[in-house]
Amino acid sequence: MASSSRGHRAEARRTTILQAVEQKPHSQKDKTKRQRTMYQLKEQDKTPEKQLNEVEIGNLPGKEFRIMIVKMIQGLRKRMEAKIEKMQEMFNKDLEELKNKQTEMNNTITEMKTTLEGINSRITEAEEWISDLEDRMVEFTAVEQNKEKRMKRNEDSLRDIWDNIKRNNICIIGVLEGEEREKGPKKIFEEIIVEGFPNMGKEIATQVQEAQRVPYRINPRTNTPRHIVIKLAKIKDKEKLLKAAREKRQITYKGTPIRLTADFSAETLQARREWRDILNVMKGKNLQPRLLYPARISFRFHGEIKSFTDKQKLREFSTSKPALKQMLKEFL
């Protein structure tokens, strides 16, 4: 670009010299002036990079001055055009880089959107799956709860049936085995009534519906005691006989001490065992406790008789009675 500018300046100086030679001098003074100008132009051709100063420019004739100004403007325009072209190239290059970067950013954003859509889709599927599992858990829990309720009702019904079957029974403990082989369990019971309770012998003896030795089978590996179970027709007779046995405290059969108790199911016996500690504490506090059929405890508290079928209800009642709560805190 610089060599091209120098070439234009040299050409302009040659044109000026030729024009000066072609002109006819009008005087010696003009001739001398033109000669000096031509000499300066020749010197400028030899040193193209040397610039004319203000005095030299002012000494140029009008036509040469105008030509020089035009050449300077042309050179300035070419330099400006070159700079503008270079700036345009740089701008286009930067613009192309920006476009490429924008394209990369758009591609990255598109990939991110695709990834997010996939994640959102998987999250939606997971939420649906979890919701389905929760629904199944609720159904399963409801089924299990209903199953547990049915089992509990069946157990309660079975226990009630079994307790009702045994409700009229009296268990005779301590009669030696072999005694009933000749007489039978019913005859032994009649003899016990005659010997221990002569005043009610005939009345109770006629109410016997069934008498047998239990358990039926003996396991040789375990030491299982066998008792005689008497089934009476009326519950009142059973309660009357047990009351008389409690009052007499000791009953014998042929001189051997025996014991008369109510015959309970295994569940009822276990429930009554759970009341044992509480029963003993209440006896020590003179609350007159009693175990009622089948496993219900009753006692007198502040002049009133209270009755409870399980420990939970007794615990709820004791929360409002600080003295009772303190008394039974180890057992509730």
The pTM (predicted TM-score) of the whole model is 0.42
**Same domain? 259 vs 273:** no
User: For the domain that residue 295 is a member of, what is the CATH number?
Assistant: 3.30.250.20
Residue 196 contacts by C-beta under 8 Å, 6 or more apart in sequence?
A: 245, 248, 251, 252, 253
Q: Model confidence over 51-84: pLDDT tens digits? A: 556 666 666 677 777 777 888 888 888 889 889 9
Report whether 229 contacts 136 (CB < 8 A): no
Q: What three-state secondary structure class fits 253?
A: strand
User: For the domain that residue 171 is a member of, what is the CATH number?
Assistant: 3.30.70.1820
17-43 mean pLDDT = 53
Q: Model confidence over 82-132: pLDDT tens digits? A: 899 899 899 989 999 999 999 999 999 999 998 999 899 899 889 999 988
Q: Model confidence over 145-190: pLDDT tens digits? A: 888 888 878 877 776 776 667 778 888 888 887 777 777 888 888 8
pLDDT of residue 105: 92
pLDDT of residue 109: 92
Q: Model confidence over 321-330: pLDDT tens digits? A: 988 888 888 8
**Same domain? 258 vs 198:** yes
Give the domain range for residue 239. Answer: 167-263
* Long-range pairs of 206-210 with CB within 8 A, sequence gap ≥ 24: 207/232, 207/233, 207/234, 207/237, 208/232, 208/233, 209/168, 209/233
157 part of a folded domain: no
Q: Which amino acid is at 104?
A: E
Cα–Cα distance measured from residue 284 to residue 277, given in angstroms and rounded to the nearest whole number: 11
21 pLDDT above the threshold of 50? no
* Domain finish residue from 232, 247, 263: 263
322 part of a folded domain: yes
20 pLDDT above the threshold of 50? no
> Higher model confidence: residue 6 or residue 187?
187
Per DSSP, 200 falls in state G
Number of helices and strands (H, E) in the chain? 12, 8
Mean pLDDT, the chain, integer: 78
> Higher model confidence: residue 272 or residue 203?
272
pLDDT of residue 43: 56
**Same domain? 215 vs 235:** yes
Dihedral over Cα of 144, 147, 148, 149: its sign: positive
pLDDT of residue 112: 92
